[in-house]
Chain A
Amino acid sequence: MTASLTLIVLMAVLFGAGIAIMLERSLTRVLIGFLLVGNAVNILIYLMSGSPGLAPILGEGVDESEISDPLPQAFVLTAIVINLGITAFMLALIYRSWWLAQLGEKGDLVDDEAELAEDAEEAADLLRSSAADDLAIQQMIDASDEEPSSRVRWSTSGEGAYRDRSRDRGDGDR
């Protein structure tokens, strides 16, 4: 098995530089260090496939001994995709942590207006649906009731009470 010296040197430099940067305190530098080391590992995997050959596609007149090992390439592709996802998450995390550092204690309290409204809406939805459930149960109970006049009074007063309560809760949320 022969390996490219250039790639080995590149890998070593990436490893060294990456680890050095990862030891810094700043999160952004840690991320950059992680990216460098991650790519160094990818090159390491690629180096393990041995000497380069033809594209690993089997077909008419292709000598199997001439093609390069496809498995490490599949490994590298997978590792790149995973690194991409983690980098995206880390960037979001770094942004959030910067945000919190800028605002200090208040950072936790800052809220997205739109999200808040959405949350309140969802809570109201839940209340409404549970109120509807309760109302249905109430009506079933009332239906079994013998006196027709009391049924009407029951259901209307019940509904009114639920409305009032849901309005109160909605205000409380804000």
Chain B
Amino acid sequence: MTGILVPLVVLLPLIGAALALILGRHRRAQMAVSTTVLIAVAAIAAVLLAIIDSTGEGVVVAVGGWAPPHGIVLVVDRLSAIMLLISALVLLGVLVYAVGQGIADQHRETPVSIFHPSYLILSAGVFNAFIAGDLFNLYVGFEILLSASYVLLTLGGTGERIRAGVTYIIVSLVSSLFFLSAIALIYGATGTANIAQLSVRLAELPEGVQLILHLLLLLAFGIKAAVFPLSFWLPDSYPTAPAPVTAVFAGLLTKVGVYAIIRTETVIFSEHDLSTLLLVVGGLTMVVGILGALTQADIKRLLSFTLVSHIGYMIFGIGLATELGLAATIYYVVHHITVQTALFLTTGLIERFGGATSINGLAGLLKASPLLAILFFIPALNLGGIPPFSGFIGKVGLFVAGAEGAPEAVGGPAWLTWAVIAAGAATSLITLYALTRFWNMAFWRGRDELEGYESVLLNSVQEWEGAAPTTTATRTTPWLMVTATTALVAVTLLLTVFAGPLFDLAGRASANLTDPETYISLVFPGGIR
């Protein structure tokens, strides 16, 4: 029974994409198809998570009936199920937002008929990457989501998007070539691409060979996850895309890379240790990313830099390589997916409502739209790590894991762990500074403090303060967009309310991960021959 559900997670979006393409002329039918598909996938993911968590056993499906070492296997354990559920929910929220925007706009910047099929294919790729049980299938998942993301990023084909898209596409292509070469070499060295079997066979290789293969894989995934020296492409390419596209890219695509790194560290190279490297890189990612954010006036670019910076926390958690560290990482991934997406969606609303995204062109938004102010303020505080929000809980979890691990020097020397913890605390404060500065300028500051200010908002505010409170903003914010954003912000709050059970769940998921034997015996119940 559960075996049937697993392939559906990928099949439904693909079938939906085909249907949406056929229904290109009927926008309402298209919207119905894509919404139904994503709701169905979210439901399946919820059922899978419930079953897997209650039985404690993952679900393995051998596609086409070919037994594991030779055929393609789909593996869903607790981590995969968590990632499936949260990404399906976020994809659904962003879809509703995009539908709201599409209905309101009806212009060439967002050709909706192409948007829906590409969006569903992107979803299929993301889901496929999360359930892939062998390295080559993971590669295929990456390629599916990347191809769709190329289309989404260059949607409309304006000069700006093409320029940004070229950087993104070429960087992604290079990372794919690295990944494919790594698979070829790993296959040559071990004769398999099955992740569970690799876990055993790679450990038998000479140290030098392991190091090269390990670094090659990390290089490929590091580009996708935007880890510091490989993150230069992200702030240049994400901000130009349409708001919903940026939101879903920021929320999900980098996390697929993080997920792949988690699998690499815990299962594929369970014996080979590169924790020190990960700690150093994680710390650098945090600091360099957030310093970049400080200098940005444009909120979209600012958020892109905080995105890069906060990837560092997850890399730090993976580098700790303890059970608590991984649990905190999983919680942090879930938190970051929702918060980053919510922030980018709110930015889309700000852009619509205020007519600008630059700190220099926005003022008086609080008076004009208190709801928008709240929608931005809550995720901003959350990302900055203010208690009681989930960002605080995740960061405290990571720091506690680091402090506990430091005396035993789990990943590298103890002083290094403490240094990264310090960097993390500083990053959190600087994030708060950067975001509240934007909030102060855009929302708190009165419009009279702004010289030569000309935007749609000015008219609306002026008339709002006058006797007749009639807003004349030419671009209103459709209720669907606001609802979707509010729903995502509500989800980030739920992460706080249910932090206890969620953290326990993340703990059980990481307990599965720290012992690669769990994964291996799941795929090969009878043991590897």
* Residues of chain A whose beta carbon lies under 8 Å from any beta carbon of chain B: 22, 27, 30, 34, 37-38, 41, 44-45, 47-48, 71-72, 75, 78-79, 82, 85-86, 89-90, 93, 96-97, 100, 107-108, 111, 119, 122-123, 126
Contacts and interface: CB of A to CB of B under 8 A. Distances in A.
Nearest to B165: A93
Contacts, number: 77
A115 to B, nearest CB: 8
B166 interface: yes
B187 A45 contact: yes
A122 B24 CA distance: 11
Nearest to B135: A75
B180 interface: yes
Sorted nearest first, the 3 A-B pairs with minimum C-beta distance are: A48-B188, A45-B184, A44-B184
A41 B174 CA distance: 12
Given A41-B181, A111-B108, A123-B106, A93 B162 contact: yes
B140 A78 contact: yes
Contacts of A108: 158-159
B177 interface: yes
A79 B147 contact: no
Contact of A86 (B107, B162, B173, B181): B173
11 contacts: A34-B173, A41-B181, A47-B184, A71-B70, A79-B180, A89-B147, A89-B150, A93-B154, A93-B165, A93-B169, A96-B157
A37 B108 contact: no
Given A48-B185, A123-B106, A93 B136 contact: no
Interface of B: 25, 27, 70, 106-108, 136, 140, 143, 147, 150-151, 154, 157-159, 162-163, 165-166, 169-170, 173-174, 177, 180-181, 183-185, 187-188, 193
Given A34-B173, A93-B162, A85 B147 contact: yes
A60 B163 CA distance: 58
A22 B178 CA distance: 14
A112 to B, nearest CB: 10
A96 B162 contact: yes
A1 B177 CA distance: 25
Contact of A75 (B108, B174, B183): B183
* Residue from B143, B147, B159, B165 whose CB has the most chain A CB atoms within 10 Å: B159
Given A37-B177, A41-B181, A123-B106, A82 B187 contact: no
Contacts of B181: 41, 44
Contacts of A48: 184-185, 187-188
A93 B166 contact: yes
Contacts of B174: 22
